């Protein structure tokens, strides 16, 4: 694919992301618009709703203003707005929450609506807390209920089959209240990594539960069908199970449900039960979120932060996002009705780490926490002022009567919420900014370009600082790319080490402190990943969860480095004598070339089922009294090119085995081959069908494939490293995201 031309100061990474995911394409998949055309398309579409309120509006001037807002990289709307504004699909929201009631009709209606939303480019959140527990009675059939987790699997399969708008695959959030009888099964439902791979899961913690944890007491579980208490269990025990699972796999996350509803401005419409897929946007059933992010780094001028320029951008951002609601083509009438009723928007930030570096403020310092709180307080205040002005001109959001704003004595408010710290993933790549409020994941990293070559890229401010000191070198960049931190680099001065902090240099307590500083002045919640080193203990995670509760957070997502390894595969070296056990007598043909020995009449063997991104793969390995002699593999579904390729691979492997080639050599060639659809199966990632075959052969032959613990996740699309950011995994090379 040829990259689009552009006069905008876009990096090559940004151009790759735009070409793959955002720009209009022809029938062959080639971009037919430049980035400038995309931004102009979006600006025009979002300016048009002003006519609804003033037929004499100067749409051309507003289009120019919105165009400058985006092309100066001061502000970016969420991805669906960039993708779909001004196009036929026209679905502009990033995320939705759907209700799931305790009936087959409601459950499958929600599955249907999920499919429609994912097709349009959105993600979905659900609370499964209303579904009766496993083993409960079903009066209509005189049977027993299968419980919420079994129904989650149905949503997961539906998500797997739908490609969102041709650009994104659906993401889901599954939430269960901590007082649901099936809570212990839910906590561990993703420790087996071959299921629910299209779900993030979180436990909704109540204040009653947290107080019981602190007091070391039991708490009640309630059957949602009857509302009656079914039993009491130890709160510390359940809390420990949550922590252990999160330590092991990064899930479940936690949300503090009572705290979320305490700040619910439209509590008279109902209680919030769920959030969007990354957890930062609590929503009522059928609400959608309309998000955008301000690039804080663009407001640093001559070593100082320009609050006046930020004020103007906040006002423009609120205007932009309110117009998005009117320009939106919602996937369901119920969603349109509920979204228009509350008109929630979420203005957030990105480029926080870049801003700190430009101001010479260490990320893990009290100064960073203070400026985080000051800036977010300013954004919250100015966004409310802008919303009040719009409310006076355009009318309050329809559910204003009875809201917290009316009770506070306010007369006008256009939007029920105005601020959210959302993941910025690919939009931060476009803007050339650091993600959200995260620290830098690395100062230097390897980027795989379209021709397959590898390039070393580094943070521009890091390169600039090194060049000013005469310290820049390619060798240093390569070391930085492999180490992830420069704190042990003797040649780098301490003042630079102090400023150029990476996520590995920030303690969990410091991560939480930054999240808490932003949460104090954010209506909704804050998306952030709390990174732990691989050697972190379960007790370390326990302390972090309790600290999050103490510091007023609305939720927490942790990632312990290496807890879900998708690492480079290396064969463990064995003694030379072990290889000799695989030597066999090969038959020489007449021309002197090695030929396979005849297939034995009788063999014995094993068959293993492996789950791959293409479906179930059944691999049979056979041997006789001499050695391994053949391998067969077959997909669960017959026919197609994949089946032909697998049969060809099987025949060649069998020939190799009977020709004296050691299984170890075969495994080495097949291991790590990657296809576009890697998948988790029984705690390991299966990269492709050949990789699955290698795993089975290594298991049967007792040849260990060692998974390196010090390698970051690799992107299934381009092979570059992925970064744990904002509760998800993001490739900054091509824009691939595990959450979309």
pLDDT of residue 166: 46
The pLDDT value given to residue 636: 65
pLDDT exceeds cutoff 60 at 315: yes
Residue 578's pLDDT is: 38
| 452: confidence class by pLDDT, cuts 50, 70, 90 | low
pLDDT tens-digit map of 280-290: 999 999 999 89
What is the CA angle 602-603-607, rounded to 5? 140
CB 294 within 8 A of CB 314: yes
Closest by Cα among 200, 180, 184, 185 to 130: 180
Mean pLDDT of 218-233: 97
Comparing 170 with 13, the larger pLDDT belongs to 13
Give the C-alpha distances (Å, rounded to integers) separating 89 from 84, 172, 234, 334. Answer: 6, 21, 50, 18
Catalytically active residues, by annotation: 276, 278, 280
Q: At what angle do helices 35-47 and 307-327 cross, to 10 degrees?
A: 70
Whether 305 and 362 have beta carbons less than 8 Å apart is answered as no
* CA–CA separation, 251 and 241 (whole Å): 11
Place of tokens 């679905």: 91
Element containing residue 45 per DSSP (H, E): helix 35-47
Confidence (pLDDT) at 449: 58
pLDDT band at 9 (very low <50, low <70, confident <90, very high): very high
- Residue pair 711/429 in contact by the 8 Å Cβ criterion: no
Per DSSP, the three-state class of 207 is: helix
pLDDT at position 396 is 98
Q: What is the pLDDT of residue 566?
A: 37
Instruction: List, for residues 111-149, the tens digit of each pLDDT value.
Output: 999 999 988 888 999 999 999 999 998 877 778 999 999
Q: DSSP assignment, residue 176? A: E
pLDDT of 568 strictly over 60: no
Beta-carbon contacts of residue 284 (< 8 Å; ≥ 6 apart) = 97, 266, 269, 270, 272, 338, 342
pLDDT of residue 24: 95
| Contacts (Cβ under 8 Å, ≥6 apart) of 343 | 322, 325, 397, 398, 414, 415, 416
Burial of 220 (0-12, 13-18, 19+ CB in 10 A): middle
At 713, the pLDDT band (50, 70, 90 cuts) reads low
Report the pLDDT value the prediction gives residue 621, as an integer from 0 to 100.
92
Residue 69's pLDDT is 98
Q: What is the pLDDT of residue 576?
A: 37
Q: By percentage, how much of the chain surpasses pLDDT 90?
A: 67
pTM of the model: 0.81
Whether pLDDT at 580 is above 50: no
List the beta strands (DSSP E) in 36-107.
75-77, 95-97
Minimum mean pLDDT range among 175-189, 228-242, 543-557, 702-716: 702-716
> Please, what is the average pLDDT of the chain?
88
Residue 579 has pLDDT above 50, yes or no: no
CA dist., res. 612 & res. 633, Å (int):
12
pLDDT at 590: 43
Quick one: average pLDDT of 228-238?
Answer: 97
Structure tokens at 689: 């069908």
726 and 435 in contact (C-beta within 8 Å)? yes
pLDDT of 1 above 70: no
As a whole number of angstroms, the distance between CA 225 and CA 136 comes to 9
- Return the H-helix or E-strand segment holding 684: strand 684-686
What does the pLDDT look like over 145-186, one tens digit per residue? 999 999 999 999 888 887 544 445 568 999 999 999 999 999
Q: Using the predicted structure, report yes or no on whether residue 584 has a pLDDT greater than 60.
A: no
Angle at 45 between CA 44 and CA 46, to 5 degrees: 95
Parallel, antiparallel, or unpaired: how do β-strands 199-205 and 218-222 relate? unpaired
Q: Residue 259 has what pLDDT?
A: 96
In which band, very low, low, confident or very high, does the pLDDT at 583 lie, cut at 50, 70 and 90? very low
pLDDT of 662 reads 86
Q: How confident is the model at residue 669 (pLDDT cuts 50, 70, 90)?
A: confident
Phi, psi of 88 (to 5 degrees): -60, -45
What's the residue count for the chain? Answer: 740
Instruction: Evaluate whether 250 touches 270 at the Cβ level (below 8 Å).
Output: no
Give dist(CA 135, CA 146) in Å, integer: 6
- Between 12-16, 404-408, 449-453, the lowest mean confidence (pLDDT) is in 449-453
Angstrom distance (rounded) from CA 737 to CA 740: 5
How far is 213 from 721, CA to CA, in rounded Å? 38
Q: Within 13 A of 244's CA, how many CA atoms are on the CB side?
A: 11
> For 604-617, what is the mean pLDDT?
85
DSSP, residue by residue, 121-158? T-EEEEE-TTSPPTT-EETTTTEE---HHHHHHHHHHH
- The half-sphere exposure of 466 on its side-chain side, counting CA atoms within 13 A, is 22
pLDDT confidence of 719, banded at 50, 70, 90? low
Considering the chain, what percentage of its residues have pLDDT values greater than 70? Answer: 89
Q: What integer pLDDT is reported at residue 735 of this predicted model?
A: 80
Pairwise CA distance, residues 688 & 694, whole Å: 10
* pLDDT band at residue 271 under the 50/70/90 scheme: very high
Mean pLDDT of the 342-367 span: 98
Burial of 698 (0-12, 13-18, 19+ CB in 10 A): buried
203 contacts 213 by C-beta, under 8 angstroms = no
Q: Exposed, middle or buried, 488 (CB in 10 Å: 0-12/13-18/19+)?
A: exposed
What does the pLDDT average to over 535-563? 93
**pLDDT at residue number 457:** 83
Q: What pLDDT does 571 receive?
A: 21
501: left (phi over 0), alpha (psi -120 to 50) or beta: beta
**Domain at 95-275: CATH architecture:** Alpha-Beta Barrel (3.20)
DSSP labels, 396-434: --GGGTTSHHHHTT-S--S-S--B-B---HHHHHHHT--
Q: Residue 41 is inside which H or E element, if any?
A: helix 35-47
Instruction: Give start-end residues of each CATH 3.20.70.20 domain in the chain.
Output: 12-92+290-430, 95-275
Chain centroid offset of residue 556 CA = 14
Residue 413 has pLDDT above 80, yes or no: yes
The count of other CB atoms within 10 Å of the CB of residue 492 is: 19
The stretch 30-48 carries a mean pLDDT of 97
pLDDT of 244-270, one tens digit each? 999 988 899 999 999 999 999 999 999
Per DSSP, 502 falls in state B
Residue 730: in which H helix or E strand, if any? strand 728-730
pLDDT class of 710 with cuts at 50, 70, 90: very low
Question: Phi, psi (5° rounding) for residue 126?
Answer: -140, 145
Q: Domain 12-92+290-430 adopts which CATH fold?
A: Anaerobic Ribonucleotide-triphosphate Reductase Large Chain (3.20.70)
Q: What angle do CA 642, 646, 650 make, to 5 degrees?
A: 175
pLDDT of residue 456: 80
Give 531's DSSP letter.
Answer: E
């Amino acid at each position: 694919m040829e990259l689009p031309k552009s006069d905008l100061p876009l990096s090559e990474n940004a151009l790759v992301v735009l070409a793959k995911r955002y720009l209009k394409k022809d029938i062959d998949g080639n971009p037919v618009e430049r980035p400038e055309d995309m931004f102009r398309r979006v600006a025009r579409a979002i300016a048009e709703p002003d006519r609804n309120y003033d037929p004499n509006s100067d749409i051309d001037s507003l289009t120019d203003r919105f165009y400058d807002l985006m092309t100066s990289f001061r502000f970016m709307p969420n991805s669906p707005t960039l993708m779909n504004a001004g196009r036929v699909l026209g679905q502009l929201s990033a995320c939705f929450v759907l209700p799931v009631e305790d009936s087959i009709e409601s459950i499958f209606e929600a599955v249907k609506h999920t499919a429609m939303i994912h097709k349009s480019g959105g993600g979905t959140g659900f609370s499964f807390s209303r579904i009766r527990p496993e083993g409960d009675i079903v009066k209509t059939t005189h049977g027993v209920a299968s419980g919420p987790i079994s129904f989650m699997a149905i949503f997961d399969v539906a998500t797997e089959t739908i490609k969102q708008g041709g650009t994104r695959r659906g993401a889901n959030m599954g939430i269960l209240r901590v007082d649901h009888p099936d809570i212990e099964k839910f906590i561990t439902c993703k420790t087996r990594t071959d299921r629910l791979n299209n779900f993030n899961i979180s436990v909704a913690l109540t204040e009653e539960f947290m107080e019981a944890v602190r007091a070391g007491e039991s708490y009640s579980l309630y059957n949602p069908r009857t509302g009656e208490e079914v039993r009491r269990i130890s709160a510390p025990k359940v809390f420990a199970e949550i922590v252990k699972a999160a330590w092991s796999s990064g899930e479940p996350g936690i949300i503090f449900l009572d705290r979320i509803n305490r700040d619910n401005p439209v509590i008279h419409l109902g209680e919030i039960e769920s959030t969007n897929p990354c957890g930062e946007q609590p929503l009522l059933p059928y609400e959608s979120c309309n998000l955008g992010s301000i690039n804080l780094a663009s407001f640093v001028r001559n070593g100082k932060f320009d609050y006046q320029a930020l004020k103007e951008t906040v006002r423009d951002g609120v205007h932009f996002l309110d117009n998005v609601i009117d320009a939106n083509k919602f996937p369901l009438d119920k969603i349109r009705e509920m979204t228009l009723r509350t008109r929630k928007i979420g203005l957030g930030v990105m480029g926080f780490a870049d801003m700190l570096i430009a101001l010479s403020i260490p990320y893990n310092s009290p100064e960073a926490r203070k400026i985080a709180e000051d800036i977010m307080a300013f954004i919250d205040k100015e966004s409310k002022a802008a919303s009040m002005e719009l409310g006076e001109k355009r009318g309050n959001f329809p559910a204003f009567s009875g809201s917290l704003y009316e009770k506070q004595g306010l007369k006008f408010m256009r939007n029920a919420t105005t601020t959210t710290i959302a993941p910025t993933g690919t939009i931060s790549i476009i803007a050339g900014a650091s993600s959200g409020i995260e620290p830098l994941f690395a100062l230097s990293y390897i980027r795989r370009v379209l021709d397959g070559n590898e390039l070393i890229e580094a943070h521009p401010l890091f390169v600039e600082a090194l060049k000013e000191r005469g310290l820049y070198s390619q060798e240093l960049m390569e070391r930085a790319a492999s180490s992830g931190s420069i704190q042990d680099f003797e040649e780098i001065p301490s003042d630079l080490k102090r400023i150029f902090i990476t996520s590995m240099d920030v303690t969990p307590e410091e991560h939480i402190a930054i999240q808490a500083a932003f949460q104090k002045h954010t209506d909704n919640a804050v998306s952030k990943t709390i990174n732990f080193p691989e050697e972190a203990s379960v007790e370390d995670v326990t302390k972090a969860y309790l600290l999050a509760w103490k510091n007023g957070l609305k939720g927490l997502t942790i990632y312990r480095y290496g807890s879900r390894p998708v690492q480079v595969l290396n064969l463990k070296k064995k003694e030379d004598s072990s290889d000799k056990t695989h030597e066999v007598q090969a038959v020489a043909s007449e021309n002197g070339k090695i030929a396979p020995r005849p297939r034995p009449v009788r063999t014995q063997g094993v068959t293993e089922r492996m789950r791959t991104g293409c479906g179930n793969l059944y691999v049979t390995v056979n041997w006789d009294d001499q050695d391994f002699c053949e391998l067969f593999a077959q997909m669960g579904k017959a026919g197609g090119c994949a089946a032909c390729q697998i049969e060809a691979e099987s025949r060649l492997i069998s020939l190799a085995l009977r020709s004296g080639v050691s299984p170890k050599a075969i495994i080495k060639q097949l291991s790590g081959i990657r296809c576009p659809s890697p998948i988790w199966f029984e705690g390991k990632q299966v990269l492709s069908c050949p990789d699955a075959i290698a795993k089975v052969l290594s298991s049967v032959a007792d040849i260990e494939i060692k998974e390196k613990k010090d390698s970051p996740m690799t992107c299934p699309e381009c092979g570059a490293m992925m970064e744990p950011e904002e509760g998800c995994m993001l490739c900054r090379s091509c824009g691939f995201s595990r959450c979309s």
